[in-house]
Amino acid sequence: MSTLRTLSALSLSLLLLCAATSGSSAQSAPTVDGLLPLLITRGEVPAAALLFRDGTGSRASTSYARAGTGISRADHFRAGSITKTFIATIVLQLAAEQRLSLSDTVERHLPGLVRGAGNDGRALTLRSLLTHTSGLYDFTAASRGSVPLTPLQAVRLALTHSPAPIGLFSYSNTNYVLLGMVIQQVTGASYATEAERRIIAPLRLTGTSFPGSRTTLPAPHGRAYATDGSDVTDLDPRVAGAAGEVVTTLADLDRFYATLLGGALLPPRRLREMLNTRTAHGSYGMGLFPVKLSCGTTVWGHNGRISGSYVRTAATVDGRRVLTFRVNTTAIADPGLEPALLAAEFCPRTS
C-alpha cells in the first residue's frame, strides 16, 4: 500500500472512531497532515511518530510521519518491553545451538534461586518463562517500575509473593529478568553482550543499545514525559533490566522485526516455536504476541511501556510489512487508537 493510501486509510479509521464516540456522522477523511495531530489530540500525548516499512532488503521502502514538537525520525528512545523480543530471540538461538533446552527447569540453570512463598524453580521450565505461564509475580507491580534493582533484587522481590497457577498466562517481567540471568549462566556473557553480538551488530542496528545503568539517552533524542507531565528523559534502565531496558530507534525496530519474522535470525523450527501461542492459550508466543484485526488479518509484534515512552511494533507474519509508532509519554489515553492504527495499515483498503 502506498504511503498516501495507508495514511488516508488510517485517517478515515480514526475519523470514524471519533464519529462513533461523539455520535456525529462521518465526514470526509482528514488530510495526511491532520492524521497524527488527531492521534495526539485524542490520545493526549505531547508528540507521536510512525515509521512504515514495506518490502524486504535493499528494496524495502519506508515512510515517516510525525505530529507535535520535539520528536524526530532519528530519535533514540526507550522501548520498554520490546526488549523481550530480543531476549526471546537469544534464548531460541541458544536452543538451536543445543546449549539449552526450552524444557530445562529454571533450577537447572539457576540452582536454588527460585524458592519461597510457594515458588519453586524445579517446577518451572524455560518455556514457561518465555510464554509467561510460570505464575511468577511481576516484580514491577511491587517496585512500581520506578526503583532501580539488580536482577537478583528484582527476583527476590517477586519471590516474596505467592505465584499464580502454573500454566495460565500471566504477564510478568520477572520471567524475562530470569531469562537474562539464564543467558549469562549459559554463555558466560551478559544478555546485553549477547544481544550486541547476535542481533545488533549483524543487523547494523546502529541506534540500538542496552544501556545498563546509564541514565542518559544517546544523541539525538527528544524529551520524555510521565503521565503527570514531568520530564523523565533521564532514567535508570535498571527499573526494567532484561524485561525492558533497550534503547532504540524507529528504523532499527522496523529492521529487527522484519529480519526476525523474515527468518534470518532463527531456524524455521525455532521461529515456529516463537509464534506458537498454544502454551499461553492464544495470548502470547515467545517474546511476540498476535493481534487479530477487525478485517481478520493477524499481525505479530510487541509493545513497550516505560516511564516517558510508549512504543508499538507490529508486522505481517512474513515480516514484509512493519509499522512502529511511538509517543513520548508513558501511555496513550485512548486505547482504541492503537487497533485503529494497526487496522489502517494492515487491513486491505476498500473502495
With cut-offs at 50, 70 and 90, classify the pLDDT of residue 344: confident
Element (H, E) at 58: none
User: What pLDDT sits at residue 71?
Assistant: 96
The C-alpha cell that represents 212 in the structure block: 545498563
To the question of pTM greater than 0.85 for the whole model, the response is yes
SS3 91: helix
Q: In what order do the strands lie in the sheet with 289-292?
A: 61-67, 48-54, 321-327, 309-315, 298-306, 289-292
Q: DSSP string covering 257-272, please?
A: HHHHHTTSSS-HHHHH
CA angle 185, 189, 191 (to 5 degrees): 85
Q: Tell me which residues are annotated as active site.
A: 81
| Residue 60 confidence (pLDDT) | 87
- Say whether pLDDT at 209 is over 90: yes
**pLDDT for the residue numbered 36:** 60
Least confident span in 129-133, 241-245, 345-349 = 345-349
129 closest CA partner among 155, 97, 161: 155
Percent pLDDT > 90 in the chain is: 75
HEC string of 139-191 equals HHHHHCCCCCCCHHHHHHHHCCCCCCCCCCCCCCHHHHHHHHHHHHHHHCCCH
CB distance 79 to 254 below 8 Å: no
Map residue 5 onto helix, strand or coil: helix
Give 290's contacts (C-beta < 8 A, 6+ positions apart): 275, 277, 282, 298, 299, 300
Q: Can you give the pLDDT at residue 308? A: 95
pLDDT greater than 70 at residue 9:
no
What letter represents residue 80's amino acid? G
**Residue 203 confidence (pLDDT) above 50:** yes
Distance CA 304, CA 141 (A): 16
Average pLDDT over residues 264-288: 98
The fraction of the chain above a pLDDT of 70, given in percent, is 88
Non-local (6+) Cβ contacts of 97 within 8 A are none
What is the per-residue pLDDT across 315-338, written as a single tens digit (0 to 9) for each?
999 999 999 999 999 988 777 788
Cα(first)–Cα(last) distance of the chain, in Å?
A: 13
Tens of pLDDT, residue by residue over 35-76, are 466 667 777 788 999 999 998 887 889 989 898 889 999 999
- What is the predicted pLDDT for the residue at 28? 35
* CA dist., res. 131 & res. 149, Å (int): 23
Which range, of 42-51, 185-194, 220-229, 252-261, averages the lowest pLDDT? 42-51
A 10 A CB-CB count for 198 gives 17
Range of weakest confidence among 47-51, 134-138, 177-181, 203-207: 47-51
Pair type for strands 61-67 and 321-327: unpaired
